Amino acid sequence: MNIKGRSFLALKDFTPEEIGGLIDLAADLKAKKKKGITGNSLKGKNVALIFEKPSTRTRCAFTIGAIDEGAHPEYLGKDDIQLGHKESVEDTARVLGRMFDAIEFRGFKHENVEALAKYSGVPVWNGLTDLCHPTQILADFLTMKEHFGKLEGLTLVFVGDGRNNMANSLLVGSGKMGVNIKIIAPKQLWPTDEVVDMAKKFAAEAGSSVIITDDVNQVEGADVVYTDVWCSMGEEDKAAERVKLLKPYQVNKELMAKTGKDTSIFLHCLPAVKGNEVTTEVFEAENSLVFDEAENRMHTIKAVMVATLGE
């Protein structure tokens, strides 16, 4: 795998071999960190961390990952720079690209992260946009591979808001990596045809399947049951309407039993609203690997930085 100098904006831009290479590199970096071994592949590098949206896991993962490998991370919150307000995204990109060796962006518009990559001249990493959340999927896949020993042939079922950035990225990532994926959501919250068609194309090449349905009984056969908050950041005004619409799609003990497998695991990208998309009982159960998954954000993000920027 050689992706040095490339930006990491969306999983569609990477081959299954490259995605698998990042997951394997993350596992290696994780094993080394557990032994107290950190690297210096990013020594002397300065990394800009742009956050329009607040974050626990993404911010901590990029900060610790950068420091572990010898880089200096600089946090730039929405009140710290003029991104898209007093200064265009393109101009900000050209300034930051002359001062920093790479840029992370977590925010709303996907076109902003694309503009940063186009105009900065340095690797840009997508820490989340309204369209997709690629670093989260790497953490999910590392967690699944650690638990099951493989990815190909597993069945992942996402239950909830089927048109949010997580559903989009799980569709594309699963298609790429040969994971069978089902999105279970009310029809009003199905993913776009464009994303589904892309996922189906990748799945056809990998020999896996893509199913979009509103039937919760389709959770049968799931190795992984996945959910996310019912209201993404910026959608708080839709909370009451969403809760009413999605209540039948709550991941609870009854829904987990429908998998028909006692080996199924539960994943959630966090933060979780317990009592909405998932019950406390499922969240705290032994087969809930949400905190392994949260830790793996750091190891997979470190892998992205090392692979695209490291010496």
Per the annotation, where are the binding residues?
55-58, 82, 106, 133-136, 165, 228, 232-233, 269-270, 297
Q: What's the one-letter identity of residue 88?
A: S
Give me the catalytic one of 133, 147, 242, 268. 133
Q: What's the one-letter identity of residue 226?
A: Y
Q: Which of 153, 151, 202 is nearest to 23 (CA)?
A: 151
188 is catalytic: no
Give me the catalytic one of 228, 231, 242, 250. 228
DSSP state of 87: B
Give me the catalytic one of 59, 110, 268, 297. 297
DSSP string, 290-309: HHHHHHHHHHHHHHHHHHHH
Give me the catalytic one of 231, 250, 268, 269. 269
Longest dimension (CA), the chain: 55
Distances (CA, A) of 64 to 74, 138, 182: 12, 17, 34
CA angle (161, 167, 169) in 5-degree steps: 160
Give me the catalytic one of 130, 136, 231, 250. 136
Q: CB under 8 Å to 18, separation ≥6 — which residues? A: 1, 3
132 is catalytic: no
297 is catalytic: yes
133 is catalytic: yes
Mark the binding-site residues for carbamoyl phosphate, compressed into ranges.
55-58, 82, 106, 133-136, 269-270, 297
Residue 33: phi and psi, rounded to 5, are: -65, -35
Give me the catalytic one of 106, 110, 147, 299. 106
DSSP state of 134: H
228 is catalytic: yes
Mark the binding-site residues for L-ornithine, compressed into ranges.
165, 228, 232-233
Q: Which of 301, 283, 146, 302 is nearest to 228 (CA)?
A: 283
98 is catalytic: no
- What positions carry a catalytic annotation? 106, 133, 136, 228, 269, 297
